Amino acid sequence: MAQTTPNHTQTVFGWAAHDSSGKITPFTFKRRENGVDDVTIEILYCGMCHTDLHHVRNDWGITMYPVVPGHEITGVITKVGSNVTRFKMGDRVGVGCIAASCLDCEFCKESQENYCDKVQFVYNGIFWDGSITYGGYSKMLVAHQRFVVHVPEKLPMDGAAPLLCAGITVFCPMKDNKMLESPGKKLGVVGLGGLGHVAIKFAKAFGLHVTVISTSPSKEKEAKDRLGVDDFLLSTNSEHMQAARRSLDFIIDTVSAKHSLGPILELLKVNGTLVMVGAPDKPVELPSFPLIFGKRVVKGSMIGGMKETQEMLELCAKHNITCDVEIVTPDKINEAMDRLARNDVRYRFVIDVAGRTPESR
Ligand SMILES: [Zn+2]
Ligand SMILES: [Zn+2]
């Protein structure tokens, strides 16, 4: 792979956090020129992911300030490099978490770029030329064609944006663990937030029986009435949890706060699988008995490869799956971040970067 050093000559307007207060302010910066393998994208919408919150506040101690967050990006192509064949001017496209990978290892060769040891992310990463990457809280992005996907005409650009992280994060483990080819089987979704609500939509589209496991009784009505969830378990009610022992085939755990997996694992049938996609910054409790006595499996999963991301978007178009979003204008990003920290959003904030949504003005 030609890892050229493009000139960073293009001035871009965006929004960045400058220190661990996490406060986001307007920020002008430079992006590279559009290289031969690059496309330039006018950003229309960008979802606000929990990871953004962790980065702006330096929760994981890895933030390189100033940080321009955002990895749920949709927009329109305004420039294509001479080697680019899959895209043309005006195409509706999306960019998720990945900015670069080695393109040469076993994972890259199988389009599992997300597991490349050299993977670099769309923000707070280091690009091939040594520059720090800046994400989608900005008006324009230059991306290598490999890490860009088409957004099908049928999908709205705002509701599609969070599919690029939240969507693919739950889609891949569901596909990998055969949940999408097992109609009638029982899936548990732990946590009803940005990730959880998309997992439910996939599950319903593919005929699964869905149980939400949550600490908030207030979510039951909405989960059942609006999202079509079949059962709701309050994880703090040990009687209910006990009654549901050995009832589920799979569990997707989306919770990003520290919690114990013990009671949740008991819900799985023998041989059942729990996939963790939330990222608690402290270790979760994992008692051995529920694993041993039920031959159960606990695994992790991180976003998805580029081929799978495109496949997911096509399936979303086919089954009318989009994220439920609350559109915010760029001047309301800080307010939205504070609400995100309190999980006060149904179910994803999406920034109207280009001012295209009349109601949000
Ligand atoms: Zn994310
Ligand atoms: Zn690689």
pLDDT per residue as tens digits for the range 234-251 = 999 999 999 999 999 999
Q: What's the confidence (pLDDT) of residue 134?
A: 98
Q: Tell me the fold of 10-165+322-360.
A: Quinone Oxidoreductase; Chain A, domain 1 (3.90.180)
Q: How far is the CA of 168 from the centre of ligand 1 (A)?
A: 10
Domain covering 167-300: architecture: 3-Layer(aba) Sandwich (3.40)
At residue 5, the pLDDT reads: 56
How far, in Å, CA of 202 to CA of 229, rounded?
Answer: 12
Task: Kindly report the average pLDDT of the chain as a whole number.
Answer: 95
Beta pairing, strands 10-17 & 24-31 = antiparallel
At 1 the pLDDT is: 46
CA of 146 to the centre of ligand 2 (A): 12
Which ligand has the minimum distance to the alpha carbon of residue 169?
A: 1
Going from N- to C-terminal start, the domains of the chain cover 10-165+322-360, 167-300
Distance 334 CA to ligand 2 centre (A): 35
How far apart are the CA of 294 and the centre of ligand 1, in A? 32
Q: What is the mean pLDDT of residues 111-127?
A: 97
> Tell me, what's the pLDDT at 258?
87
Asked if pLDDT for residue 55 goes beyond 80, the answer is yes
pTM above 0.85?
Answer: yes
219-233 pLDDT, tens digit per residue, is 999 999 999 999 999
Mean pLDDT value of segment 269-277: 97
pLDDT score at 257: 86
Q: What is the pLDDT of residues 300-347, one digit of tens each?
A: 999 999 999 999 999 999 999 999 999 999 999 999 999 999 989 999
**Nearest residue to 253 via CA among 262, 240, 241, 245:** 262
Asked whether the beta carbons of 282 and 258 are under 8 A apart, the reply is: yes
Q: Separation of 194 CA from ligand 2 center, angstroms?
A: 29
Ligand closest to the CA atom of residue 306: 2
Instruction: Point out the ligand nearest to the CA of residue 108.
Output: 2
* Distance (Å) of CA 150 to CA 34, 45, 113, 139, 143: 19, 15, 17, 19, 13
Residue 127 has pLDDT above 60, yes or no: yes
CA-nearest of 303, 258, 264 to 282 is: 258
**Contact yes or no for 166/49 (Cβ under 8 A):** yes
Neighbours of ion ligand 1 (CB under 5 A): 49, 51, 165
The Cβ of residue 253 has, within 10 Å, a number of other Cβ atoms equal to: 25
Whether 174 shows a pLDDT value over 80: the answer reads yes
